[in-house]
Amino acid sequence: DTGVSQDPRHKITKRGQNVTFRCDPISEHNRLYWYRQTLGQGPEFLTYFQNEAQLEKSRLLSDRFSAERPKGSFSTLEIQRTEQGDSAMYLCASSHRDRVDEQYFGPGTRLTVT
């Protein structure tokens, strides 16, 4: 079991650019979650998928954000026209259908928008 992986681990981009992050969940985990964490705060829920279906989106997920999980395996989170306020750690987690309570987190992607 290799755990949840995220790529890249760090991303520095200029304001206005688009960025895309990838998350690979633990195999056979059917649920995948995205969270955002700013310095000194706890993670905040963004969205989650059950298989390929996106079941819930937070109001934090503005129109500039889009998440996909096309084949029910890995997921991508894209941010268009990045703003400095998007600077944060983006965390991905996954859970198994039989233990949905337990979410396993990846190491996160730290985004810095300059």
Task: Map residues 83-112 to x or -, x wherever contact with another protein holds by CB under 8 A.
Answer: ------x-x-x------xxxxxxxxx-x--
CB atoms within 10 A of CB 111: 20
56 binds another protein (CB under 8 A): yes
57 or 66: CB nearest another protein: 57
Q: Based on C-alpha coordinates, what's the Rg of the chain?
A: 13
Task: Say how far apart CA 59 and CA 22 lie, in whole Å.
Answer: 21
26 or 80: CB nearest another protein: 26
- Counted residue by residue, the chain has a size of 114
4 binds another protein (CB under 8 A): yes
Sign of CA dihedral 38, 113, 26, 74: positive
Q: Binding segment for another protein among 14-22, 40-48, 64-72, 76-84 (CB under 8 A)?
A: 40-48
Task: Say how far apart CA 72 and CA 83 lie, in whole Å.
Answer: 29
70 binds another protein (CB under 8 A): no
45 binds another protein (CB under 8 A): yes
